[in-house]
Amino acid sequence: MSKRKSSDPDDDFDREDFAEMRPLTRKQVLDMLRRGETLEEADLRGMDLSGVSFEGANLTNAKLGEANLHRANFRRANLAGASFWNANLREATFEGANLEEADFDYANLDGVSFRDAKIKKAIFPVKRLSVEAVQRSVRTGERVKMEPLRHEDED
CA atoms within 13 A on the CB side of 1: 11
Convert the pLDDT of each residue in 105-155 to its tens digit: 999 999 999 999 999 999 999 889 999 999 999 999 999 999 887 655 454
Whole-angstrom Cα Rg for the chain: 16
Pick from 77, 33, 76, 78: nearest CA to 52: 33
CA atoms within 13 A on the CB side of 129: 22
The pLDDT-based confidence of 23 (bands split at 50, 70, 90) is confident
Lowest mean per-residue pLDDT among 8-17, 93-102, 142-151: 8-17
What domains lie within the chain, and their CATH numbers? 14-24+38-143 (2.160.20.80)
Predicted local distance difference test score (pLDDT) of residue 148: 84
Amino acid letter for position 20: E
**Is-contact 117 96, C-beta < 8 A?**
yes
The pLDDT-based confidence of 21 (bands split at 50, 70, 90) is low
Cα separation of the two ends of the chain: 42
Distance between CA atoms of residues 131 and 1, nearest Å: 36
- Strand (E) positions, 9-125? 12-14
More confident residue, 147 or 51: 51
Predicted local distance difference test score (pLDDT) of residue 8: 45
Q: Which residues contact 145 (CB under 8 A, 6 or more apart)?
A: 110, 111, 133
Distance between CA atoms of residues 32 and 13, nearest Å: 15
Average pLDDT over residues 68-78: 98
Predicted local distance difference test score (pLDDT) of residue 10: 41
Whether pLDDT at 60 is above 90: yes
Q: What is the pTM of this model?
A: 0.83
**Secondary structure (DSSP) of 77-93:** -B-TT-B-TT-B-TT-B
